[in-house]
Amino acid sequence: MNKITEVTRRQIAKLFDKEFNYWGDDEENDDEIKFLERLYELEELPSNDGRFENAKDNNWIFKDEDDRFNLNNGNDDKYLLKFLCEILHPAIREPDNVQNLLTIYNNILSVDGYKIIEVDKLSNLPIFGFCEINNQIDSSNNILMKPIQKILFGSPGTGKSYQIRQIAQEQLDIQIDKITKTSPNIVKAVFHPEYSYADFMGKLLPFSQKSSVIYKFYPGHFLKILGKAYKSLIDGKDENYLLVIDELNRGNAAAIFGNTFQLLDRESDGWSSYEIDISEMELVGLFQAMNIKVDIDSNNKIEIQLSNIGKLNYDEALKNEIESFRDKKNHGGFLIYNLLRQCQIKLPPNLSIIGTINTSDESIYYLDTAFKRRWSWEFVNAPVGKFDDSTEFPEEIKNAQLFIDDKPQDLWLFYIVGINELIKSNHQTIRRIEDKLIGCWFIKPENEKVKLQQVKDKLMFYLWDNVFARDKRPLETFLGDKSDETNTLVTLALFSDFLKYTEKFLDKVLALGKEQYKGEFLKQEVEQVEDNLDMIPF
């Protein structure tokens, strides 16, 4: 292990010459001999002075260029790294000065691929170790992408779930089953008013076993996906994992996330900026999610089995495995086991989180600003305005047609655009108009067919109850025939009145939709449909 360059070693030496003392903040209580005895067997090191038998008896001043300490000669990086970690030990340095020095260390060491990290605690103060920074590089030396943490928002039916699958496959390289539309690398949660922190993290539930009742902890959606992501890093794999949260604004997000909210702050390497404490029950659930054999002994202590040795106290078992991760240059596994020893967690770089919000839903719970700013926000637009043959639409939507009495009418896409044009034209009377538009998937075609009954059951009610809930006059005006001599007026007092005009309404929005189309291809498809209809003997 010899990666730290001579330049880096000189930088560290100058740092202490100018700003810091190697052996502590209080020179009266800590001297160089006491400090060096923490790292070296001074009695076994030779003396440079012939009057003394060993280095301990020397009356000398420490110099980092002294070859006996292996700090400047670069034979093995571990001597310098252990030396730096010891300088941060709570017995040596005041806690107020540790963070500043740690930041400087890591800024200098990062260029050579090392990082000083917390590995334990003494009297609730951190003890540090070191690791190589290579968790973002796989065995093929391909840089793994940074985690995604975003919220997709837009009006209903805009294809947010469809887009999540695309992101998972194209950006995260997660394979999704074409039939089930699922993946073992994805865990999906749906927030609702009764969804709680216990559903998210885990809960203790009773179940009957013969004549007795036993309680078992079941990990929630968050712990399940966190355990999968942790296990992948521990195994040295480069797989990505995704937590999907649908309808995020329908649950009390602040209460559901609880203190896991702090994990949403991420560093440039993809790890959370801060760790959080978890309960021992949650730790048990996390072990279960990581497929680690876990048990509670007669003294209510957690035991786990990581090797063939058998079950050990979790702290001892994890400690035994930690050094192997350093040898394997597995920074992820090293950090995870150190965190778990302290009943702490962080979000790893291979875990992404994507939430969805239907902006038209009347949110029961408010998302505060602090929560919002920890996500990137992507608006998923509805089809509205001018479009042509180059405009991208899902193939299932491009080819779908409206059917009335089992007879094809026209491409469903024209109707969608026409309805959105109608809503847009009434922006003065409709509040938050972007929330009220409909997406391509508002009604999902079945075998490229949208039936009239689907329109009545879902679309017409949505327009009546959500879009034009406050004022029905725009609908009455739209359905009225002012162009002909009768100047027909329409009165919509009841929803049943509106339903009677369903086919007329569809004819009118179809005309609006076709006005927005500036291409040729879809027109040719429509003409082909009409030619086929002429050939059918009704």
Distances (CA, A) of 199 to 183, 192, 204, 252, 311: 21, 11, 10, 12, 29
Q: With CA atoms as reference, report the closest residue to 416 among 391, 398, 434.
A: 398
Residue 435 CA neighbour count, 13 Å, CB half: 13
Phi, psi of 143 (to 5 degrees): -70, 125
For residue 230 the two structure tokens come to 């942790």
Sign of CA dihedral 215, 216, 221, 223: positive
Helix (H) or strand (E) run with residue 341 in it: helix 331-341
Confidence of residue 266 (pLDDT cuts 50, 70, 90): very high
How far CA 377 is from CA of 161, 215, 295, 357, 374, in Å, comes to: 15, 40, 42, 10, 10
Q: Retrieve residue 331's tokens.
A: 């920074």
Structure tokens at 225: 């996906």
CA distance 468 to 230: 49
401-404 and 449-451 strand pairing: parallel
Q: What is the 3-state secondary structure (H, E, C) of 259-321?
A: HHHHHHCECCCCCECCCEECCHHHHHHHHHHCCCEEEECCCCCEEEECCCCCCEEHHHHHHHH
Mean pLDDT value across residues 130-142 = 52
Q: What are phi and psi of 378, to 5 degrees?
A: -125, 120
Kindly tell me if the per-residue pLDDT of 392 is higher than 90.
no
Say whether 401 sits in a helix, a strand or coil: strand
pLDDT for 109 equals 85
Question: Which is higher by pLDDT, 99 or 478?
Answer: 478
CA nearest to 420, candidates 408, 430, 405, 409: 430
Across residues 159-167, what is the average pLDDT? 90
More confident residue, 347 or 67: 347
Distance in angstroms (rounded) separating the CA atoms of residues 201 and 337:
19
Average pLDDT over residues 471-492: 78
Question: Where is average pLDDT lowest: 98-107, 285-294, 319-328?
Answer: 319-328
Query: In the chain, what percentage of residues exceed pLDDT 90?
Result: 39
Contacts of residue 397, defined as CB under 8 A and 6 or more positions apart, other chains included, come to: 412, 413, 416, 440, 441, 445
Name the more confident of 154 and 211: 154
Exposure letters 512-524 (e unless 16+ CB within 10 A, then b) = bbbebbeeeebee
Lowest mean pLDDT among 63-67, 81-85, 423-427: 63-67
Sign of the C-alpha dihedral, residues 520, 525, 530, 531? positive
380: phi then psi, degrees, rounded to nearest 5: -105, 110
pLDDT tens sequence across 270-318 = 899 999 999 999 999 999 999 999 888 878 889 888 876 778 888 888 8
3-state DSSP assignment of residue 195: coil
Residue of 326 and 292 predicted with greater confidence? 292
Lowest mean pLDDT segment, chosen from 282-286, 328-332, 428-432, 529-533: 529-533
Which of 97-106, 155-164, 428-437 is least confident? 97-106
Check whether 101 has a pLDDT greater than 50.
yes
**Contacts with 426 (C-beta within 8 Å, 6 or more apart), sequence order:** 468, 474
Lowest-confidence region among 261-275, 321-335, 365-379: 321-335
Question: Average pLDDT over the chain, rounded to whole?
Answer: 82
Residue 12 has pLDDT above 70, yes or no: yes
d(CA 428, CA 426): 5
Task: Provide the pLDDT confidence category of residue 321 given band limits of 50, 70 and 90.
Answer: confident
More confident of the two residues 416 and 207: 416
Q: Which candidate, 390, 358, 53, 319, places its Cα nearest to that of 191?
A: 358
| 339 and 346 Cβ atoms separated by less than 8 Å | yes
User: Dmax of the chain from CA atoms?
Assistant: 123
Element spanning 180, H or E: none
pLDDT band for 135, please (50, 70, 90 cuts): very low
Band (143; pLDDT cuts 50, 70, 90): very low
Helix 221-234 crosses helix 331-341 at what angle (to 10 degrees)?
130
Q: 194 pLDDT exceeds 90?
A: yes
Mean pLDDT of 366-385: 89
